[in-house]
Structure 1
Amino acid sequence: MTIIRQGSLFDIQELYDLEPTQRFEAIFSTIDIDPIFAVVTKKSRFGRPVELNYVAMIYSLVARISERIPFIKDLVKRLRNDMIFRLDCGFLVSDIVPSEAAYSRIVTILSESEVLEGAKNTILNQAITEGFINDDTAALNASHFEAKDQAPPKEEKTTSEPKKRGRKSKEEREKWLVEQAEREVNLPLYEKKIEEQLDVSLSELRSQMPQDPQWGVKKNSEGKSVFWYGYKAHLLVGTKSQYILQSLFSSGNLNDGKAAIPLLKGIQENVSLKTLRYTTMDAGYDYEPIYEQVHRLGLQSVIAYNKRNEPEPIGFDKHFAPTCFREHSYRYDSYDAKYETLKYTRPKECKDCPLADQGICQKVYKVKITTDLRKYTAPARGSKTWKTIFKRRTAVERVNAYLKEYFQLNNVRYRTGKRAKVHFDLVTLVYNASKLAADRMNAMLNQRQAA
């Protein structure tokens, strides 16, 4: 058996160096197959007799992701030509090889169910129970991937009546305000403002998530806009363990910030991770409702600040630390969790300042983070601890790269959003299953070495 070592490609590379039979057995053993089998199997004893091995079909879909088999037709071909692979997936010698249509029917059934979400949460909580996940920080980010189909041609805008220029009369303005209010009420949930999500249940947030392929845009490293037609993967990742703690699939045009609250609520309802203390995100998630949701979970936000043409604060520096009379920044000292208060101490430059003895500049400055959750975070913005935690955010970017490079996230072969979500769920499921399999092998190896 290949020795599994710490510190490499999250130990999954060594897992993939094993013989296929050992690798499949290790990955399959982490997945609770019974709920998935109950969904896809035939429910009635009437009608056409069951001739397919559904358990083996589910395992073969997992093996397709693991083996990087691009098409279902290639999976069927390999099952027909490779007897060892067929047996590794759980098929018997007497079983018939399923057709592409049979796999298509299973994908359709899975697209109408949330069973894969349950399977992912089962693996995650099993990893927590076995002690492989003890992160104190979770990082959130989104990654785009293209749809299979070519983007449809853009619809030509119909010419409307020219708008009336000038100020509206009082009656016209009142009518316009009523129409605007009605339009806002009738908008879909994800077209409303982010704060509308705070009091909505997780099940409703997930059910209303847009999933059809759409045009998306982002800035590349050179600051230029890059367009694509497809989807987005939203991930909340443990920065130390690099497990996917929660995941969401959406249309490519969804604003990244509108996926944050569903992911955070998913942590609250589906993951019993008591060690979690911080969530870190880039400036694309700098919205007050996201800070509010993190605060409701009893966690702390470490999110890059997006200035948005706001005026310079008076009496505070760019990190919102108070400044003295001579505009030296106070130093962050500590955080009192009981009273949710940040403590700042007098700047070093004020040690010999003549104003210090006159009572003009106070020695200690305290501020409650609830004064403004966006500006006052624990640890304080600009502090060494804040910067250290924020650097951990790169973990989610690495996981996004792993999913695309090794787990076929870029290889969506379904035309509809629902069926594409099945592919996304399988990708994230196999990733966490492979991670758990590698961690179990590490633990077994360490036990043998200790003995």
Structure 2
Amino acid sequence: MTIIRQGSLFDLQDLYDLEPTHRFEAVFSTIYIDPLLAVVSKKALYGAPVQLNYAAMIYSLVARVLERIPTIKDLIKRLKHDYMFRLDCGFLLSDTIPSEASYSRMLSKIAESPVLERVQETLILQAMTEGFITDDTIAIDATHIEARDQAPSKEEKSKPEPKKRGRKSKEEKEKWLQEQAEREAALPIFEKRIEAQLDASLVELRSAVPLDPKWGIKKNSEGKNVFWFGYKGHFAVGTKSQYILQSLFSSGNLNDGKAAIPLLKGMQERLSELKISYSTLDAGYDYLAIYQQIYRIGAQSVIAYNKKNESELEGFDKHFAPTCVREHSYRYDSYDATYETLKYTRPKECKDCPLAEDTLCQKVYKVKITTDLRRYTAPARGSKAWKTIYKQRSAVERVIAYLKEFFQLNNVRYRTGKRAKVHVDLTHLVYNAAKLACDRIAKSIANKENIQVA
């Protein structure tokens, strides 16, 4: 089997080849921290004077991720003993080095506000303005994030009451159905079926995401179940630029598919200037509601199909392309966006078929994708164009690998979900900031080379 070597995600080496001072400046310059300062700074003029340099504290948290410093305690130790690092973070020699408690109070203020999401959005919009984000395809995937706390012992479930044998009467069945409907309506939105998210607002969905650490389960590449106690990070990544365009942090037991609609709505409402044509996801997201949401934002779904014990349709192949009388698959030809119609042409095998002129074997077959959004996608399933777009989904997997290996995504050291979310959001922000800094450096080098050639 041929081994395909993946190229570098982006050239971090150009960033780390710089002197530490210039490296920090390159990353810090991409982050607009004024909203963060407004949240953490003292509001009243009265009371004890504030002696903390909040701007430098925020930059030091960014530097902690860049330098892979494991804990706040280690960060404070580095600030005390490395004067150049202290100056690079923005502290003056006369400034008092903040304590762990000071950092903790600042992070608690940030945790109570969606300010990090606004700063992330500002950075993405800046990258779009500078021409570094021009994606027409996004890839969505999730990853597990382990909690540092010891997992609680599993509670023993009480045995359900034995079911009454025999068929329910009409009155009993109606009462039971009503109770089921009331119970379903009372559930939080992320415990309902995915379809319930379609008509919910983005604010409602984001505010209802469960954040507490829970037991999670997922199949690995070998098909075996992997368990962990902690959280999940959900990411929507531009497959060409490889920026994180949207992210969501949740409890570890949240189904991957239930995070897709909030991510897609975030793309539609917060990054409406970016016209997305395709959304590519793996088979874990094969739910009709997700196809419907992608259709609502004006994009096409490229999602691996999950049979879910469904029988194959007669007269169609495994990719839902029609088949002729002799069961040869029709070939995907084109997609008509005006009428939202897929066009299939007669199979090659039918060229010399005696039934070619028969009415049972038509030359062209057309079907509207709205007939079944899950089965009919543009480009058609199984086509070369569909496979080419689906392969781009590997971009989100590489980004997640970078986040874990170089940006401390899996280094959550907080007991509460809100504080853990701040860590993941900060990781997301620093990754995009480093990406933008690298793109600016690469553009500057290219401009210098062009000038020298001219």
TM-score normalised by the shorter chain: which range applies?
A: over 0.9
1:124 alignment partner in structure 2: 124
Kept in 2: contact 1:216–1:228 (CA 8 A): yes
2:219 is the alignment partner of 1:213: no
CA shift, 1:175, in A, is: 2.0
Alpha-carbon separation, structure 2, partners of 1:160 and 1:332: 52
Alpha-carbon separation, structure 1, partners of 2:363 and 2:79: 74
Structure 1 residues 273 and 52, CA, compared in 2 at 3 Å: closer, same or farther? Answer: same
2:271 is the alignment partner of 1:268: no
2:234 alignment partner in structure 1: 234
1:358 alignment partner in structure 2: 358
TM-score by length of structure 1 reads: 0.97
Kept in 1: contact 2:413–2:420 (CA 8 A): yes
2:309 is the alignment partner of 1:317: no
Q: Which runs of 5+ in 2 are unaligned?
A: 1-6
Amino acid aligned to 1:255: N
Give 1:232-381 correspondences, 5 Å limit.
232-381=232-381
1:422 alignment partner in structure 2: 422
Kept in 2: contact 1:134–1:273 (CA 8 A): no
Kept in 1: contact 2:140–2:393 (CA 8 A): yes
Amino acid aligned to 1:375: R
CA shift, 1:15, in A, is: 1.0
Amino acid aligned to 1:148: R
CA shift, 1:72, in A, is: 0.4
Q: Determine what percentage of the aligned residue pairs are the same residue.
A: 73
1:165 alignment partner in structure 2: 165
Alpha-carbon separation, structure 2, partners of 1:358 and 1:61: 73
2:76 alignment partner in structure 1: 76
Alpha-carbon separation, structure 2, partners of 1:164 and 1:209: 37
CA shift, 1:449, in A, is: 1.0
Amino acid aligned to 2:441: M
Alpha-carbon separation, structure 2, partners of 1:117 and 1:68: 22
CA shift, 1:177, in A, is: 1.3
Alpha-carbon separation, structure 1, partners of 2:162 and 2:332: 57
Q: Helix, strand or coil: the match of 1:357?
A: coil
CA shift, 1:320, in A, is: 0.4
1:396 alignment partner in structure 2: 396
Kept in 2: contact 1:139–1:396 (CA 8 A): yes
CA shift, 1:446, in A, is: 1.0
1:204 alignment partner in structure 2: 204
Q: Helix, strand or coil: the match of 2:357?
A: helix
2:23 alignment partner in structure 1: 23
Kept in 2: contact 1:134–1:276 (CA 8 A): no
Alpha-carbon separation, structure 2, partners of 1:99 and 1:140: 39
Give 1:129-168 correspondences, 5 Å limit.
129-159=129-159, 161-168=161-168
Alpha-carbon separation, structure 2, partners of 1:273 and 1:323: 41
CA shift, 1:174, in A, is: 2.2
Give 1:107-118 correspondences, 5 Å limit.
107-118=107-118
Question: Which shifted more, 170-179 or 86-95?
Answer: 170-179
CA RMSD of aligned residues (A): 1.1
Give 1:2-41 correspondences, 5 Å limit.
8-41=8-41
Alpha-carbon separation, structure 1, partners of 2:98 and 2:316: 67
Q: Helix, strand or coil: the match of 1:427?
A: helix
CA shift, 1:303, in A, is: 0.2
Structure 1 residues 346 and 161, CA, compared in 2 at 3 Å: closer, same or farther? Answer: closer
CA shift, 1:359, in A, is: 2.4
1:59 alignment partner in structure 2: 59
Amino acid aligned to 1:270: R
Kept in 1: contact 2:15–2:23 (CA 8 A): yes
Kept in 1: contact 2:9–2:398 (CA 8 A): no
Deviations 1:202-257 (A, max 9, x none): 01110000010000001112211110000000000011111001000000000000
CA shift, 1:93, in A, is: 1.1
2:4 alignment partner in structure 1: none
Alpha-carbon separation, structure 2, partners of 1:162 and 1:341: 52
Structure 1 residues 272 and 439, CA, compared in 2 at 3 Å: closer, same or farther? Answer: farther
Question: Where does structure 1 differ by over 3 angstroms across 4 or more consecutive aligned residues?
Answer: 158-163, 272-275
CA shift, 1:163, in A, is: 3.4
Aligned residues: 445
Alpha-carbon separation, structure 1, partners of 2:439 and 2:107: 29
CA shift, 1:160, in A, is: 5.3
